[in-house]
């Protein structure tokens, strides 16, 4: 086999150079040792991966006995080689030390960074270019400048500090100092520099934490100013993942009717969009928990919920808002909303999220609302029982002690057992009926009607469970 010039079967080695040697006079001996590889698939234009790793992952040493391509870490996995000219010497000879140094510097390695380490037997210590090291050093410098610093040292720069990770922590620590007089002066100084940028800071990844802390320290007059400055953007803030936390804190700390009025006027037209949002729904729930002592302050939420009941109830987050309404509203407000839900119970029962709202009314609603729901589902009991989400409502009704006998009696009188037994969701209604049937007459009648049907489902999981339930009565 013909090999490229100056390369033999016994000595296939990479060149070795020192810093003062021209590459044209390289010595190819004693570098990596003899090459005993398999040349069956030899390509004269290809240097194996272990012979010439990339520049940017390797270091250059002053030692004339080491290869310029020696790995920093010998355990580093082999990387793909590079295609070069078949005439190795003629190609490499065109590169001189200046070109090589330029290439090194362009890859972020300083050729003059090799130093002697007296603590390590004068072995060379090589500094590698690493963006992460520079970033960490910069962060360390940023953090260190706050050690033993005073707030007065950063007067006029507080807004910038609010948006910096270390600066934000420094300001929070200043607000937590024990001296009450100094704490008040600190809060005032911070307030005066950031009050006009309250919206931006409430939605900032770092600034929102400072705002939450500041809201606890400032006086009512200052807090009202912040509320007025941000009021026009409250909806935008509520929808922001950072802003929603700061806004919930603001709602939590307000104490005056003036502040309540600003909150109400800012949100009353946006309850639907907020209730259906991942972040905004938490703001609505916070208003319910904070203002519930005065029902008139949360009436605007109930008005919006009643007018848009289906739109809110059939949403992943909206259904949670309506359940909180039933938790924190007054008796009249809960009845107002429960009646609207009851009148739409069939539509909501078939919805993945709306069915939970109907179940909640069955648990906590007034008697009139519950009666409307029961009357509605009795006329659609087979349809609901064989529906993925509707069956949840039927089961909830069965688990309501005073309603279970009504539902079981309806099932027995209408001969739904066969269809329910063979349905993927209806069989759960039957199992629940057997669990809650407390009247011996109803339970025995269920068992008598189910026994002839069991052979057809005895080998199915639900058939075995139903058989186990009626077995003691056989």
> How confident is the model at residue 472, as a pLDDT?
60
176 and 94: one domain? no
Provide the 10 A C-beta neighbour count for residue 77.
Answer: 9
262 and 169: one domain? yes
Residue 309 — very low, low, confident or very high, per pLDDT cuts 50/70/90? very high
Q: For residue 16, what are the β-bridge partners?
A: 27
98 and 153: one domain? no
179 and 242: one domain? yes
Instruction: With a cut of 50, say whether residue 126 has pLDDT above it.
Output: no
What digits encode the pLDDT tens for the residues 52-101?
444 444 444 444 344 444 444 444 444 444 344 444 444 444 444 444 44
104 and 169: one domain? no
Min mean pLDDT across 22-26, 250-254, 323-327, 397-401 is at 22-26
CB 359 within 8 A of CB 392: yes
Q: Is residue 77 part of a domain?
A: yes
> Which of 267, 286, 303 is at the close of a domain?
267
294: exposed, middle or buried (Cβ count in 10 Å: 0-12, 13-18, 19+): exposed
Instruction: With a cut of 70, say whether residue 41 has pLDDT above it.
Output: no
CB 237 within 8 A of CB 244: yes
Instruction: With a cut of 50, say whether residue 127 has pLDDT above it.
Output: no
Instruction: With a cut of 80, say whether residue 19 has pLDDT above it.
Output: no
CB 397 within 8 A of CB 404: yes
91 and 159: one domain? no
94 and 190: one domain? no
CB 319 within 8 A of CB 312: yes
Can you read off the two tokens belonging to residue 178? 């024990």
257 and 152: one domain? yes
Provide the 10 A C-beta neighbour count for residue 407.
Answer: 23
Q: Is residue 441 part of a domain?
A: no
Rounded distance between C-alpha atoms, residue 126 and residue 109, angstroms:
10
* CATH number of 152's domain: 1.25.40
> Which of 247, 267, 287 is at the close of a domain?
267
Compare 8 and 257 and report the one with higher pLDDT.
257
Query: How far out from the chain centre does Cα 394 lie?
Result: 35
Provide the 10 A C-beta neighbour count for residue 55.
Answer: 17
Q: For residue 125, what are the β-bridge partners?
A: 115
Helical pair 220-230 and 243-253, crossing angle rounded to 10 deg: 140
> Which of 213, 232, 267 is at the close of a domain?
267
**pTM score:** 0.69
> How confident is the model at residue 344, as a pLDDT?
97
94 and 21: one domain? yes
Instruction: With a cut of 80, say whether residue 178 has pLDDT above it.
Output: no
Rounded distance between C-alpha atoms, residue 270 and residue 283, angstroms:
11
CB 416 within 8 A of CB 381: yes
263 and 152: one domain? yes
Total domain count for the chain? 2
Q: Is residue 297 part of a domain?
A: no
What digits encode the pLDDT tens for the residues 318-361?
999 999 999 999 999 999 999 999 999 999 999 999 999 999 99
Instruction: With a cut of 70, say whether residue 30 has pLDDT above it.
Output: no
Helical pair 207-217 and 165-175, crossing angle rounded to 10 deg: 10
> How confident is the model at residue 34, as a pLDDT?
43
> How confident is the model at residue 275, as a pLDDT?
98
Compare 136 and 171 and report the one with higher pLDDT.
171
Which of 72, 70, 77, 55 is CA-nearest to residue 125? 72
> How confident is the model at residue 467, as a pLDDT?
87
79 and 170: one domain? no
Q: Is residue 341 part of a domain?
A: no
Q: Is residue 121 part of a domain?
A: no
Which of 362, 369, 358 is CA-nearest to residue 333? 369
Q: What is the mean pLDDT of residues 417-444?
A: 92
What digits encode the pLDDT tens for the residues 114-124?
344 444 444 44
Can you read off the two tokens belonging to residue 464? 């075995």
Q: Is residue 342 part of a domain?
A: no
Residue 471 — very low, low, confident or very high, per pLDDT cuts 50/70/90? confident
| Mean per-residue pLDDT over the chain, rounded | 79
> How confident is the model at residue 179, as a pLDDT?
72
Can you read off the two tokens belonging to residue 135? 């970033």
> How confident is the model at residue 460, as a pLDDT?
87
Compare 205 and 144 and report the one with higher pLDDT.
205
62: exposed, middle or buried (Cβ count in 10 Å: 0-12, 13-18, 19+): exposed
Min mean pLDDT across 207-216, 262-271, 296-305, 448-457 is at 448-457
The 8 Å CB, 24+ separation contacts for 430-437 are: 430/466, 431/462, 431/465, 431/466, 431/469, 432/395, 432/398, 432/399, 433/398, 433/404, 433/407, 433/408, 434/466, 434/469, 434/470, 435/469, 436/398, 436/399, 436/404, 436/408, 437/404, 437/408
> How confident is the model at residue 353, as a pLDDT?
98
Q: Is residue 190 part of a domain?
A: yes
Exposure on the CB side of residue 124, measured as CA atoms within 13 A: 14
- Measured in degrees and rounded to the nearest 5, phi and psi for residue 58 equal -130, 165
Which of 217, 276, 298, 290 is CA-nearest to residue 247? 290
102 and 202: one domain? no
CB 404 within 8 A of CB 436: yes
Angle among Cα 259, 265, 270 to the nearest 5 degrees reads 125
What percent of the chain has a predicted confidence (pLDDT) above 70? Answer: 69
Q: CA separation (Å) from 271 to 202, 203, 236?
A: 20, 20, 13
Helix (H) or strand (E) holding 340: helix 331-343
What digits encode the pLDDT tens for the residues 445-455?
999 999 998 88
Q: What is the mean pLDDT of residues 375-387?
A: 95
> How confident is the model at residue 177, as a pLDDT?
84
Rounded distance between C-alpha atoms, residue 80 and residue 267, angstroms:
61
Instruction: With a cut of 70, say whether residue 13 has pLDDT above it.
Output: no
Q: Is residue 122 part of a domain?
A: no
Residue-range definition of the domain harbouring residue 229: 148-267
> How confident is the model at residue 459, as a pLDDT?
82
Give the sign of the dihedral formed by CA 384, CA 386, CA 387, CA 393: positive
Provide the 10 A C-beta neighbour count for residue 467.
Answer: 16
Compare 440 and 116 and report the one with higher pLDDT.
440
Q: For residue 27, what are the β-bridge partners?
A: 16
Instruction: With a cut of 60, say whether residue 298 has pLDDT above it.
Output: yes
């Amino acid at each position: 086999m013909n090999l490229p010039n100056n390369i033999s079967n016994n000595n296939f080695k990479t060149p070795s150079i020192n810093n003062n040697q021209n590459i044209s006079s390289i010595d190819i001996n004693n570098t990596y040792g003899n090459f005993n590889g398999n040349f069956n698939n030899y390509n004269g234009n290809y240097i194996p991966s272990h012979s010439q790793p990339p520049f940017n992952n390797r270091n250059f040493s002053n030692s004339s006995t080491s290869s310029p391509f020696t790995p920093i870490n010998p355990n580093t996995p082999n990387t793909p080689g590079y295609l070069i000219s078949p005439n190795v010497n003629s190609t490499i000879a065109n590169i001189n030390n200046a070109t090589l140094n330029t290439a090194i510097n362009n890859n972020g390695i300083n050729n003059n960074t090799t130093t002697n380490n007296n603590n390590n037997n004068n072995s060379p210590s090589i500094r590698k270019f690493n963006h992460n090291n520079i970033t960490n050093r910069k962060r360390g410098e940023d953090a260190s400048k706050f050690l033993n610093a005073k707030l007065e040292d950063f007067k006029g720069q507080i807004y910038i500090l609010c948006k910096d990770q270390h600066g934000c922590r420094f300001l929070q620590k200043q607000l937590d100092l024990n001296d009450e007089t100094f704490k008040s002066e600190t809060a005032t100084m911070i307030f005066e520099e950031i009050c006009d940028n309250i919206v931006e800071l409430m939605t900032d990844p770092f600034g929102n934490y400072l705002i939450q802390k500041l809201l606890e320290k400032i006086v009512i007059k200052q807090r009202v100013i912040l509320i007025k400055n941000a009021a026009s953007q409250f909806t935008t803030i509520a929808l922001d993942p950072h802003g929603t936390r700061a806004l919930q804190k603001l709602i939590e700390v307000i104490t005056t009717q003036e502040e309540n009025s600003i909150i109400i006027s800012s949100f009353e037209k946006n309850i639907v969009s907020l209730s259906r949002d991942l972040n905004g729904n938490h703001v609505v729930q916070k208003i319910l928990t904070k203002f519930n002592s005065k029902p008139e302050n949360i009436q605007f939420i109930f008005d919006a919920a009643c007018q848009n009941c289906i739109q809110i109830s059939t949403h992943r987050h909206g259904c949670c808002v309506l359940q909180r309404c039933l938790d924190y509203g007054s008796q009249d407000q809960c009845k107002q909303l429960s009646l609207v839900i009851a009148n739409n119970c069939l539509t909501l029962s078939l919805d993945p999220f709306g069915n939970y709202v109907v179940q909640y009314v069955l648990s906590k609603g007034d008697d009139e609302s519950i009666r409307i729901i029961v009357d509605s589902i009795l006329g659609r009991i087979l349809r609901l029982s064989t529906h993925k989400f509707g069956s949840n409502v039927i089961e909830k009704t069965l688990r309501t002690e005073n309603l279970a006998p009504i539902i079981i009696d309806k099932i027995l009188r209408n001969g739904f057992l066969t269809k329910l037994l063979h349905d993927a969701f209806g069989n759960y209604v039957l199992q629940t009926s057997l669990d809650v049937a407390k009247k011996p007459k109803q339970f025995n009648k269920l068992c008598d009607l189910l026994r002839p049907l069991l052979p057809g489902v005895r080998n199915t999981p639900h058939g075995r469970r139903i058989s186990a339930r009626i077995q003691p009565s056989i």
